[in-house]
Amino acid sequence: MIIINKLTILDDKILYELDSQNKWKLDIEKIKFIGEYTTSAGRLAEDWFFVFADTIDQWWQAPSTAIDHEEFWEQLGKKLNCELAPNLFASTNWATRVLYPKTLDGQELFLLIKSEPKPKTFWQKLFKTNNDNVRLELTENVKSLFK
């Protein structure tokens, strides 16, 4: 399978294609929020992502390496009638930020919610492999966009 990893704008849609089997399309006029987040993965893996949503329960994401940043953000900004300026590129830790709508620009996008740890097996305790007790949740300000 050939890896494409490309995020583009065609007409009034955002298109992401990782490969021929994994792709998504989103109508720009339906976008409720655009955000960015970074992880601490660093050079070992993708660590800067962009998130797009048109519904509260389904988010679409693409890694920063899929984007021709200058062209993509300028083109999308024109379609949304605002300037979009991602700025978490230098972050080396967990960080989130709303890019759009401008009323929430710069605010936190996600919260990390920790739940009670699940019972661990002997091997999970020994190798500390149980990280299932953390999930992402939208902040209240971002959730309010869907009301």
Q: Is residue 127 part of a domain?
A: no
User: What does pLDDT average to over the chain?
Assistant: 89
Q: Is residue 13 part of a domain?
A: yes
CATH for 46? 2.30.29
What local confidence, expressed as pLDDT, does residue 119 receive? 59
pTM: 0.85
Q: Is residue 126 part of a domain?
A: no
Domain count for the chain: 1
Mean pLDDT along residues 52-63: 94
Q: Is residue 121 part of a domain?
A: no
Range of the domain at 63: 6-109
What local confidence, expressed as pLDDT, does residue 124 receive? 57
Higher-confidence residue of 31 and 135: namely 31
Q: Is residue 134 part of a domain?
A: no
The DSSP string of the chain is -----EEEEETTEEEEESSSSSEEEEEGGG--EEEEEE-S-GGGS--EEEEEEEETTEEEEEEGGG--HHHHHHHHHHHHTS------TT--S-EEEEEESGGGTTS--EEEEE-PPPPPPHHHHHHT---TTEEEEE-HHHHGGG-
